[in-house]
Amino acid sequence: MKGIKNFLKIIIFCLLTAAVLLVLGRVLENKASRFNKMPLYALKKQPDVIFVGASRMHNAVYPVRLWEKYGIASYNAASPGEQTGTTYYVMRQLLEDFSPKVMVFDLALVSGTDEISWSHEIGFIHESMDFMPLNKNKIELAEKVAEYNDMSPIAFLSRIYFYHERWKELGREDFEEKFSREMGAELLTRVKRVRKIEAAEVSENPEALKSAGYVYLDKMMELCTEKGVKLVFVNLPYTKDTEKKQADEYTYMMEAGRRGHYSFDLLRNWGDKAPDNRYDFADPSHVNAVGAVKLTDVLGAYLITLPEVEDHRGDEAYSDWDASEADYLYFKADCANEAESAKDFAMYAYGQDDWGLKAYEGTEGLLAGDPEAEYVIQGCGATPLNASYMTEAEREYLGDRKYDKKISLFIEDRATGKILAGNVYSPVRGSDFEEDEEDE
């Protein structure tokens, strides 16, 4: 009897310890992976299109806009710093959990690589794989990245093992469940002048198909073929592109076509939506909100032509995307309200055709002083920018904030005239955006 009692005590202790460790791991982990991926798992209807890849994809394609403009039910599952091999395993996991019709992958980090890279940025690797359950995919990926980084695979399989030192930086947000309100994407407001992108005259480079970088592209195509999913290779703009890189990308795209998949050469198909090298980039590799809206539109126009992709607007089953669209507007208005500069404020308003953006100096209506903000504001198709006078409602909205000799910006709903966001900034004369010296 005593033996059974002791045995039960051991079992209870083990269970309690396991529970505490589980909670501890959940609290300590960096929430980025769950933040980005969990909304996908919460969707009632599966998306037709899932975007995968690294930060360039993560920052360039807005699923909410794809829904709004084309009715495409999509999700952006790309993750910053994600290397091609990692994307393959993420893709494997996503294709076990979902049945999309199309997966879109950016070739950015594949081209020109002579060896398979798994990233030395351990935090990025975790951001990519933390959402995965402990299964064959995760274990295989952990073994690969661990071997590459000369670490123990457990560093990628156990939350506590990797994150236990995060106790020093735990904040209130670590105890709240917060998820992406951008359907996995991330809007960037930074502006950096970069080199103008020129599409070179390229032809196929057979060597590209023998490179180590191609190994996981090959696996991706094989996996998608096996699962009956179409893979679309795209080449998001990178201002430090070389001719060889463009040729390699072209080769991979051609190969995709030969193997029954798709590709979309953005560089040669964006027409008048080409990103402006002065205003549309956050840095040489990433587009900002303005560039992203343009690229999303170009990509959406292509994707909707695919036989696998349908316009689901009005379909009750896809109401999650309607809800996301509505929430996205609140999200952007919230961000605008907290924006640190007039330019950032305008960035959040960019691409919302239903919104008007008003700017005042003091109470006089005018364009914000700095060229970026003007560019963005004009691009917003805002309501009269410089002919109005600050209304009583707008003054009330600002409350105690002093607006004399300052720039005040407002976002209003064009249909109802309701003020959605408003903030006051010091006037900026000239430009505060950074220039990429290397690119100039």
Verify binding: residue 11, another protein, rule CB under 8 A: no
Q: Which stretch binds another protein (CB under 8 A): 14-22, 112-120, 275-283, 374-382?
A: 14-22
Which range of residues in 163-171, 279-287, 333-341, 344-352 is near another protein by CB under 8 A? 163-171
By the rule CB under 8 A, 4 interacts with another protein: no
- The least CB distance from residue 8 to another protein, in Å, is 10
Q: With respect to another protein, which residue has the nearer C-beta, 142 or 385?
A: 142
The CA angle 116-117-121, to the nearest 5 degrees, is 170
Question: Using alpha carbons only, what angle is made at residue 425 by residues 423 and 431, rounded to the nearest 5 degrees?
Answer: 130
> Rounded CA gap, 232 and 103, in Å?
6
CB-wise, 167 or 389, nearer to another protein?
167
By CB under 8 A, residue 151 contacts another protein: yes
- Closer residue to another protein (CB): 164 or 401: 164
Q: Report the nearest approach of another protein to the CB of residue 15 (Å).
A: 10
Residue in 162, 279, 410, 425 binding another protein, rule: CB under 8 A: 162
Residue 397 CA to residue 421 CA, distance in Å, equals: 8
Q: Compute the CA torsion angle 132, 135, 139, 145 (nearest 10 deg).
A: -20
- Out of 148, 161, 179, 331, the only residue in the binding site for another protein (CB under 8 A) is 161
- Residue 284 contacts residue 439 (beta carbons within 8 Å): yes
Q: Mind spelling out the 3-state secondary structure of the chain? A: CHHHHHHHHHHHHHHHHHHHHHHHHHHHCCCHHHHHHHHHHHCCCCCCEEEECCHHHHHHCCHHHHHHHHCCCEEECCCCCCCHHHHHHHHHHHHHHCCCCEEEEECCCCCCCCCCCCCCCHHHHHHHHCCCCCCHHHHHHHHHHHHHHCCCCHHHHCHHHHHHHHHHHCCHHHHCCCCCCCCCCCCCCCCEECCCCCCCCCCCCHHHHHCHHHHHHHHHHHHHHHHCCEEEEECCCCCCCCHHHHHHHHHHHHHHHHCCCEEECHHHCCHHHCCCCCCCEEECCEECHHHHHHHHHHHHHHHCCCCCCCCCCCCHHHHHHHHHHHHHHHHHHHHHHCCCCHHHHHHHHCCCCCEEEEEEECCEECCCCCHHHHHHHHHCCCCCCCCCECCHHHHHHHCCCCCCCCEEEEEEECCCCCEEEEEEECCCCCCCCEECCCCC
| Range in contact with another protein (rule: CB under 8 A) among 65-73, 158-166, 298-306, 332-340 | 158-166
Q: Which stretch binds another protein (CB under 8 A): 154-162, 255-263, 290-298, 339-347?
A: 154-162
> Over the range 331-344, which residues count as b (16 or more CB within 10 Å of their CB) and which as e?
bbbebbeebebbbb
Q: Does 134 bind another protein (CB under 8 A)?
A: no
Binding positions for another protein, 20-59, rule CB under 8 A? 20-21, 24, 28
Q: How far is the CB of 123 from another protein (least distance, A)?
A: 10
- Could you give the dihedral angle defined by the CA atoms of residues 293, 294, 299 and 305, in that order, rounded to the nearest 10 degrees? 100
Instruction: Please state the closest distance from residue 18 (CB atom) to another protein, in A.
Output: 10
CB of 195: closest distance to another protein in angstroms? 36
User: Does 122 participate in binding another protein (rule CB under 8 A)?
Assistant: yes
Single out the residue of 43, 139, 160, 254 in contact with another protein (rule: CB under 8 A). Answer: 160
Tell me the closest approach of the beta carbon of residue 24 to another protein, in angstroms.
Answer: 6
For another protein, the closer of residues 12 and 323 by Cβ is: 12
Chosen residue from 11, 16, 22, 323 binding another protein by CB under 8 A: 16
For residue 125, the minimal CB distance to another protein (Å) is: 11
Smallest separation, CB 161 to another protein (Å): 4
Site for another protein in 164-203 (CB under 8 A): 164-165, 167-168
Applying CB under 8 A, which part among 10-18, 87-95, 374-382, 395-403 lies near another protein? 10-18
Nearer to another protein, 166 or 227 (CB): 166
As measured in angstroms, the least distance from the Cβ of 88 to another protein is 23
Q: How far is the CB of 175 from another protein (least distance, A)?
A: 15
Stretch that binds another protein, among 148-156, 215-223, 258-266, 373-381 (CB under 8 A): 148-156
Minimum distance from residue 176 beta carbon to another protein (Å): 20
| Bridge partners (DSSP) listed for residue 358 | 410
Smallest distance, Å, CB 191 to another protein? 34
Q: Which is nearer to another protein, 149 or 337 (CB)?
A: 149
Binding site for another protein (CB under 8 A): 6, 9-10, 12-13, 16-17, 20-21, 24, 28, 122, 151-152, 154-155, 160-165, 167-168
